[in-house]
Structure 1
Amino acid sequence: MGLLSKGHLHEVDRADLVGEFIGQTAPKVKEAIEKARGGILFIDEAYALTRSKEDSKDYGREVIEVLIKEMSDGPGDIAIMAAGYPKEMEDFINFNPGLKSRFKYYFHFDDYTPDELILIAEYAAEKRSIIVNPKAKEYINKLLIDAYRDRDHTFGNARYAYSLIDEGKMNMGLRLIKLPNVKRLSGKTLSTITLADVKKIKAGKKKKIIRIPIDEELLKIATNELKALIGMNHIKAEVNDMIKLVRYYRETGKDVLNKFSIHTIFTGNPGTGKTTLARIMGKIYKSLGLLERGHVVETGREGLVAGYTGQTAIKTKAKLDEAMGGVLFIDEAYALSDGGQNSFGKEAIEVILKHMEDKRGKFAIIAAGYPDNMDVFLHANPGLKSRFDRVWQFYDYAADTLLKIAIQMFADENLVADKDAKKFLLEYLNGLYEKRDKFFGNARSVRKIVEQAVKKQNLRMASLPSEERTTTMMETVTILDLKEIAIEQKDDKKRMGFR
């Protein structure tokens, strides 16, 4: 077609493009572009470049900026292809406004059907000059069909079909070595995979210990996010102990995946940081190699339960499949145990339990809710308590901690509270804390107060003539901005609990 001068393929991933230090990333990306010039730059698992959206210092952003510049202003003679899982690639393409307009073609690759996988396995054997006898072929076909039936997003498709032939070939070679007078055997015998060769494949896979290297870069990002959280010292200590143990188990060659059950119960009132911590834990689990993807799928009863018989199992399984390789965060999980013995919530719990057993080590569930309600949830089914062997309590924030959270929120808006404002806010927060109940909003209540105070402060500045405003005034929250909120909320009959 003459669209490219060479037509070669240069394949890269995040590790090939991202530098370790400031100033290293752009040259690496430009080098990859020049190597691909005249052909295709294929970026595998491109979504990894956007894995830390909250961290403005992540060098993956720089990769994207250089790529966008090349796609806009570069000399051309290059095609850039980015590949990855569907959901993650959707996040990737929406990460930067410039990406969507520059990738004009989108192709979705469906999983191969069992019939197609069988044909691929036959082709792989032919390419390797291997004969598969009828019984061995029947067994391989069954493995392919079973794998397709149990597949999730990690399913290897053609790669899996090829691996069966390769492992069968290896087992054939090991079998033949043990035979006497191998040199007298016919060429056909020396190149035929038998049932005994392929039967060892499944057994070998059960014994195999998968070791994913620790991603130190991602671990540092995640642990820094954890350290930045105000409070939660008891949970931070547990997470740090877990990281130490994972390192120790890897050093001593132990099976890390069987040493940890990462399904966890989070109990606490609203606004205590449960959702935030779940997102951080997804990154930590991925960085440690405990989970492949580490993404977090957030849901509640409405995302799992349907209104008709038989539909709940389908809906719950779809949500679990979406979470494979990552974390399924079920907020207000106790709602699944409401409604009596025949409720659809019970059906959802049964499906969840089956996946926790059948897909052990492939995903994590974090179920969250109020302490008393979560105790009821754990007793809704005899299998729940044994599978959630870790319970983390999120305590209500005391007034001094809530003040620290408010100060940080003001800082995020480039504002500071003056001395009188801090004193007033501390007294006000202490009053809220002393009168709290199970619906107390904690950090969510603080966020509401801060948002209102910022609005009041902005309106106060907007009411002043521009020549009367000083930089200090424009960056300062005063007691005036807070007292008005306190009066408004005192007159408000509604409960101050935020969801």
Structure 2
Amino acid sequence: MNITFKNNEESIKAAVTHAEPTATLAPSYVESIKEVFHELDDMIGLEKVKELIYEIYALLQVEKIRQEMGLKVNHHVYHMVFKGNPGTGKTTVARIVAKLFQRMGVLSKGHLIEVERADLVGEYIGHTAQKTRDLVKKALGGILFIDEAYSLARGGDKDFGKEAIDCMVKMMEDKHSDLIIILAGYPEEMDLLLESNTGLPSRFPIKIEFDDYSINELVLIAAKMAAERDYTLTTETISRLKDIILDEKLDETVFSNARFVRNVIEKSIRHQAVRLMSKPTKLSKQELMTILPKDMSVIEENIKPDNNIPNIPQVNKSVI
């Protein structure tokens, strides 16, 4: 298994030897695990997150080997708290964790149900408990991912959000063998949520912090997004992108990280299309692929086509 996490490399290499095909580990099983880690390793940055996910994998693998050798296997709780700003990869990592746990035999299905406060909280007494129970049942065999989970504790003791938390905690105990719940949200607000209920911290023992991406990591993410769409960024375009990211980081209290970069790339592609339509000559493959600095803008500019753009032929509706 080729895992290229930067830190703790030697111990990772040593642990990976347990994942080679043996009498108890079929080649197909090993390949499926490799696919999951390749997907995780392909994400830009997140080194601390990757290390912790690998620690969980190593624990699961060793527990499996201990069980085969007749040793005691301890019961572990895998409910998690993901703390980080928007666009730091929380939902993507949750999907990867679901796949990993399914292939390791911890979860029977490995699907991800993503919800927020409005999905859990009802409008009258008893409605919240029913909605929460229904969603937990739907998530059985996989992961229930609650985004902006801190909003459940904002209304105080009389708020229906507290009822959702209480119902969820009870069902976590009843359905612990085939369900993982992940609470996600801003770091400070998630700390307040855990403090609001004395039983929550012990029920969510795995806490993962998703740091904001550096400017260089965001540039790599942008280049990857562009390449996946068959676009390229010139050196000058990358320089322009760095300036845009820096300005946004300084201006915004909460920076949306990869989400912001994705929006910039998508707007740049639209601006490039308008620019190319103004060219009177036949477009080359390179022109179609290249994003220039003039294409890159944070705001959605009102770009007017010039007179060189040919008229688009009208569709003859009579033949439709």
Distance 1:369 1:475 in 2: 36
Whether the aligned pair in 1 keeps the contact of 2:102 and 2:108 (CA below 8 Å) is yes
CA contact (8 A) 1:398 1:433 kept: no
Tell me the distance in 2 between the aligned counterparts of 1:311 and 1:216.
45
What secondary structure, in the 3-state scheme, does the structure 1 residue paired with 2:50 have?
helix
Cα distance change on mapping 1:486 and 1:356 into 2, 3 Å: closer
What residue in structure 1 maps to residue 292 of structure 2? 478
| Structure 1 residue identity aligned to 2:267 | Q
Of 194, 207, 210 in structure 2, the residue corresponding to residue 378 of structure 1 is 194
> Judging changes above 3 Å, is the alpha-carbon distance between structure 1 residues 487 and 379 closer, same or farther for their aligned structure 2 residues?
closer
| CA displacement at 1:406 relative to structure 2 | 0.7
Tell me the distance in 2 between the aligned counterparts of 1:488 and 1:301. 31
For residues 364-414 of structure 1, give each alpha carbon's deviation from its aligned partner in whole angstroms, at most 9, with x where no partner exists: 000000111111111222111110111111111111111111111111110
Residue in 2 that maps onto 1:224: 38
For residues 265 and 236 of structure 2, the distance between their equivalents in structure 1, rounded to whole angstroms, comes to 16
* Deviation by residue 1:235-257 (Cα, 9 ceiling, x = unmatched): 1011112222222121121565x
2:210 maps to which of 394, 401, 413: 394
Secondary structure at the aligned position of 1:252 is classed as helix
User: Whole-Å Cα distance in 1 between the matches of residues 267 and 96 of structure 2?
Assistant: 28
Question: What is the aligned counterpart of 2:153 among 337, 341, 344?
Answer: 337
User: In the alignment, which residue of structure 2 is the partner of 1:202?
Assistant: none
Distance 1:344 1:245 in 2: 37
* Residue in structure 2 matching 1:428, options 213, 236, 244: 244
The residue number in structure 2 matching 1:417 is 233
Aligned equivalent of 1:451: 266
**Cα distance between partner residues in 2 of 1:400 and 1:436:** 18
Q: Which has the higher contact order (CA 8 A, sep 6+)?
A: 2
Q: Which structure would you say has the larger Rg?
A: 1
Question: 1:272 aligns to what SS in structure 2?
Answer: coil
Deviations 1:158-180 (A, max 9, x none): xxxxxxxxxxxxxxxxxxxxxxx
State the partner residue of 2:137.
321
Distance change in 2, residues 1:297/1:488 (3 Å): closer
Deviation at 1:265, TM superposition (A): 0.2
Alignment partner for residue 264 of structure 1, among 80, 83, 89?
80
Partners in 2 of 1:310 and 1:272 — Cα distance? 35
Give percent identity, aligned residues only: 37
Give 2:52's aligned residue: 238
* Residue 355 (structure 1) aligns with: 171
How do 1:457-476 and structure 2 match up within 5 A? 457-467=272-282, 469-476=283-290
Match of 2:61 in 1: 247
Residues 255 and 273 from structure 1, CA distance in 2 versus in 1: closer, same or farther, beyond 3 angstroms? farther
Letter of the 1:476 counterpart: T
Q: Distance in 2 between matches of 1:488 and 1:217?
A: 44
Gapped regions of structure 2 (runs ≥ 5): 1-23, 302-320
CA–CA distance in 1 between the matches of 2:53 and 2:278? 49
Q: Take 2:25 and 2:196, find their aligned partners in 1: how far apart are those partners?
A: 36
Tell me the secondary structure at the aligned position of residue 199 of structure 2: helix
Cα deviation, 1:110-169, whole Å, max 9, x if unaligned, reads: xxxxxxxxxxxxxxxxxxxxxxxxxxxxxxxxxxxxxxxxxxxxxxxxxxxxxxxxxxxx
Deviations 1:250-284 (A, max 9, x none): 1121565x442110000111111111111111001
Gaps of 5+ in 1: 1-210, 490-499
TM-score by length of 1: 0.53
Per-residue CA deviations over 1:309-367 (Å, capped at 9, x if unaligned) read 01111110000000001000000001111111111111111111111111112100000
Cα distance between partner residues in 2 of 1:453 and 1:383: 48
Structure 1, 293-302 or 470-479: larger mean CA deviation? 470-479
The Cα shift of 1:486 comes to 4.4
Match in the other structure for 1:146: none
Report the secondary structure of 1:382's partner residue.
Answer: coil
Aligned residues of 2:66 and 2:72 also touching (Cα < 8 A): no
Give the distance between the partners of 1:283 and 1:299, measured in 2 at CA.
18
For 2:183 and 2:194, locate their aligned partners in 1 and report how far apart those are by CA, in whole Å. 10
Q: Does 1:305 align with 2:121?
A: yes
SS at match of 2:196: coil
Aligned residues between the structures: 274
Matches of 2:72 and 2:86 in 1, distance apart?
A: 37
CA distance in 1, matches of 2:262, 2:215: 14
Could you tell me the TM-score, scaled by structure 2's length?
0.81
Which amino acid in the other structure matches residue 57 of structure 2?
Answer: I
Contact 2:267 2:300 in 1 (8 A): no
Q: CA RMSD in A?
A: 2.0
